[in-house]
């Protein structure tokens, strides 16, 4: 009797060990980046979130309440790269969405690649690859660790939202082509689209989603988390006279599919494509973990257009929450509850509209960087006698015209001195930092670390401008933007859920660079090769 009780105990221990191993090794990891999602959106609209969407992750998963981006500028491409590489622009090289190749005097788009051809779409939208990304991603490391047997895919409306997360060895990355309404790819990944994606495109979801009128889910009077529907801080969708519900874009039919980016259908089509990918590629079907990297670009377009205080933003998040709930139900059925792990984060947050803040008597402002270029060059000429010494102002950085400085034998230090002096005279500027000589700069932490982390010596401008809180570059009187070090841009949601993840939350500060090493630890694989982050140990069930 005693013997058999011991046997049962032994069996249970062994069974438990197996069960635990199975639980710790998900069959599928789904990464979801919600483009421009401020951390506070988890709570601002919480009352009307369903139990199955954001709240499922918050209640049943692990909630890192103080997840911060540890670099500037806080833009889409560096954010997507950081989440999946565990490192910062200084190392992964994705210094911004667009940067300047100063010696060749040209703009570079983060994923542009003239060596590849479009696959399934237009020439304009298709020539992209992760070639400018200098490090591996979690997906790359998983592929290396499994002798390429793991499958890794990236899907987003934005090319950079699909390509940078998926990495160099991905089986595929698919993004939206505004001119056709199809998901496309490039020859970097293969010579043709997979059959399932061609079939998916054949269903013409973009057409039906564009035809859907966007009305509020609930009675407009109940949108008490937002200011009135028609307000002066909102931009207008193409073809519309007022920024009000219901939004109807059917008049723009035949003018391409770019408007889908601004409609809830832009999220719907991503979840539809994700399901088609999971089914057709049998993601999570065997014991070799796969990774699906999803990025929802629509929240960013809606935020830029209408700002965080608009009913459109609120309604879009309520709809997104329902789509998440339905997607998680799909994963439960298709991959099996307990067999998959989800992480959800954002690539950056967003500021409040600066005029809205000013009207509330909160210090704020905005000014377009490009518009200041002529004035700055005139000042530098007055001070140094040299013309056109500044090539470009973008990403809160100053790109000096290095070729002209050489040719005209200008004193580079004098030029930099004049640039810094001019910026210090402008409204809304808090610090101006010479990134090549940081010893003399009085700059408090964590700003110093953030600018160093964001500075790539070949791709960033050599002078970094830091605006006062509430100030940002560009976007005129309506909508909003992001890019600064301030908490509204750098405080992001970070939720882990599912296989191998504990239930709970932490108020300890963690960084965006901690996501990739945490997923790597979960999968028992090497962290990406430029990783500087740390494992969020308390999130893991071990």
The catalytic residues are 76
Q: What sign for the dihedral angle of Cα 136, 142, 148, 154?
A: negative
Nearer to Zn ion, 177 or 300 (CB): 300
The site string for Zn ion over 199-238 (x = CB under 5 A, - otherwise) reads ----------------------------------------
- Calpha distance 494→63 (Å, rounded): 6
The site string for Zn ion over 296-325 (x = CB under 5 A, - otherwise) reads ----x-------------------------
Residue, CB closest to Zn ion: 76
Whole-number Å distance between alpha carbons of 297 and 261: 7
Q: Which is nearer to Zn ion, 349 or 428 (CB)?
A: 349
Q: How far is the CB of 350 from Zn ion (least distance, A)?
A: 9
Contact status, residue 366 vs residue 353, Cβ threshold 8 Å:
no
Which residues, 6+ apart, have CB-to-CB distance to 132 below 8 Å?
93, 94, 108, 110, 111, 112, 113
Give least dist CB 265 to Zn ion, A.
19
| H/E element, 20 | helix 2-24
Write the CB contacts of 259 (distance below 8 Å, at least 6 apart in sequence): 210, 237, 238, 249, 252
- Cis ω before 446 (30° cut-off from 0): yes
182-186 and 172-177: which strand pairing?
antiparallel
* Shortest Å distance, C-beta 472 to Zn ion: 14
# of chain residues touching Zn ion (CB under 5 A): 4
The pair of structure tokens assigned to 401 is: 């015209």
Site for Zn ion in 74-93 (CB under 5 A): 76
- Do the beta carbons of residue 168 and residue 307 sit within 8 Å? no
What is the closest distance, in whole angstroms, from the C-beta atom of residue 333 to Zn ion in the complex?
Answer: 31
What tokens does 477 get? 């009187």
Instruction: Give dist(CA 165, CA 64) in Å, integer.
Output: 20
- Which one, 92 or 143, has the nearer CB to Zn ion? 92
Q: Residue 415 — φ and ψ, nearest 5°?
A: -60, -50
Candidate ranges 71-79, 117-125, 306-314, 440-448; the one touching Zn ion (CB under 5 A): 71-79
Exactly one of 24, 321, 347, 369 binds Zn ion (CB under 5 A); that residue is 347
Give the nearest distance from C-beta 76 to Zn ion in angstroms: 3
Q: Shortest approach of Zn ion to residue 337 CB, angstroms?
A: 31
Terminal Cα distance for the chain, rounded: 34
Burial of 250 (C-beta count, 10 Å sphere; 0-12/13-18/19+): exposed
Residue 79 contacts residue 512 (beta carbons within 8 Å)? yes
Residue 346, classed as helix, strand or coil, is coil
Question: Minimum distance from CB of 44 to Zn ion (Å)?
Answer: 19
Residue 290 touching Zn ion (CB under 5 A): no
> What's the rounded Cα separation, in Å, for the pair 484 and 351?
9
Q: Give the orientation angle of helix 265-280 with respect to helix 195-202, to 10 degrees.
A: 150
Q: How far is the CB of 33 from Zn ion (least distance, A)?
A: 8
Can you tell me the distance from the alpha carbon of 78 to that of 266, in angstroms, rounded to the nearest whole number? 22
Which range binds Zn ion by CB under 5 A, 143-151, 176-184, 345-353, 462-470?
A: 345-353
Residues 540/501, Cβ–Cβ less than 8 Å: yes
Question: In degrees rounded to 5, what are phi and psi of residue 30?
Answer: -110, 115
CB atoms within 10 A of CB 282: 11
Q: Which is nearer to Zn ion, 37 or 466 (by Cβ)?
A: 37
Pick the closest to residue 309 from 478, 156, 191 (CA basis).
478
For residue 495, CA distances in Å to 9, 201, 373, 515 come to 36, 31, 41, 10
Q: Choose one: 58-66, 322-330, 342-350, 444-452; the region binding Zn ion (CB under 5 A).
A: 342-350
Rule CB under 5 A: is residue 35 a binding residue for Zn ion?
yes
Q: Which is nearer to Zn ion, 76 or 231 (CB)?
A: 76
Rule CB under 5 A: is residue 177 a binding residue for Zn ion?
no
Smallest separation (angstroms) from Zn ion to the CB of 347: 4
Which residue ranges make up the site for Zn ion (CB under 5 A)? 35, 76, 300, 347
């Amino acid at each position: 009797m005693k013997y058999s009780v011991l046997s049962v105990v032994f069996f249970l221990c062994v069974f438990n060990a197996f069960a635990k191993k199975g639980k710790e090794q998900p069959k599928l990891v789904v990464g979801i980046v919600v483009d421009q999602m401020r951390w506070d959106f988890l709570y601002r609209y919480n009352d009307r979130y369903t139990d199955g969407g954001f709240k499922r992750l918050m209640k049943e998963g692990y909630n890192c309440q103080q997840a911060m981006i540890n670099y500037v500028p806080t833009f889409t491409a560096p954010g997507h790269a950081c989440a999946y590489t565990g490192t910062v622009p200084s190392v992964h090289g994705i210094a911004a969405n667009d940067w300047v190749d100063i010696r060749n005097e040209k703009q570079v788009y983060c994923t542009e690649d003239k060596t590849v051809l479009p696959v399934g779409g237009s020439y304009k939208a298709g020539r992209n690859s992760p070639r400018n990304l200098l490090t591996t991603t979690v997906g790359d490391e998983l592929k290396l660790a499994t002798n390429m047997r793991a499958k890794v895919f990236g899907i987003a409306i934005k090319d950079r939202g699909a390509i940078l997360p998926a990495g160099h060895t991905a089986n595929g990355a698919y993004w939206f082509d505004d001119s056709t309404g199809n998901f496309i790819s490039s020859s970097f990944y293969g010579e043709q689209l997979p059959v399932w994606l061609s079939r998916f495109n054949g269903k013409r979801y973009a057409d039906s989603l564009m035809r859907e009128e966007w009305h509020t889910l609930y009675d407009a009077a109940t949108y008490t988390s937002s200011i009135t529907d028609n307000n002066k801080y909102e931009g207008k969708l193409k073809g519309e006279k007022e920024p009000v519900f219901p939004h109807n874009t059917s008049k723009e039919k035949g003018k391409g599919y770019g408007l889908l980016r601004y409609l809830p259908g832009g999220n719907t089509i991503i979840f539809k494509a994700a399901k088609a990918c999971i089914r057709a590629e049998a993601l999570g079907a065997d014991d070799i973990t796969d990774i699906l990297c999803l990025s929802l670009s629509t929240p960013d377009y809606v935020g830029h257009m209408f700002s965080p205080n608009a009913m459109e933003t609120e309604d879009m998040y309520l709809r997104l929450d329902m789509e998440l709930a339905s997607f998680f139900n799909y994963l439960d059925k298709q991959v099996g509850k307990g067999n998959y792990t989800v992480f959800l984060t954002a690539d950056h947050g967003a500021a409040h509209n600066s005029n809205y803040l000013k009207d509330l008597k909160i210090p704020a402002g905005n000014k377009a960087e490009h518009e200041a270029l002529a004035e700055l060059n005139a000042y530098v000429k007055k001070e140094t006698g040299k013309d056109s010494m500044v090539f470009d102002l973008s990403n809160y950085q100053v790109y000096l015209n290095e070729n002209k400085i050489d040719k005209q034998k200008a004193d580079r230090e004098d030029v930099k001195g004049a640039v810094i002096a001019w910026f210090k005279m402008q409204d809304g500027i808090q610090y101006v930092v010479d990134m090549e000589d940081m010893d003399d700069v009085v700059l408090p932490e964590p700003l110093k670390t953030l600018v160093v982390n964001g500075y790539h010596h070949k791709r960033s401008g050599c002078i970094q401008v830091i605006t006062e809180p509430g100030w940002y570059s560009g976007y005129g009187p309506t909508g909003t933007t992001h890019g600064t070090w301030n908490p509204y841009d750098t405080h992001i949601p970070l939720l882990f859920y599912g296989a191998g993840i504990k239930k709970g939350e932490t108020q300890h500060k963690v960084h965006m660079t901690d996501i990739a090493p945490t997923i790597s630890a979960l999968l028992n694989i090497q962290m990406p090769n430029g990783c500087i982050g740390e494992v969020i140990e308390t999130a893991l069930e071990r």
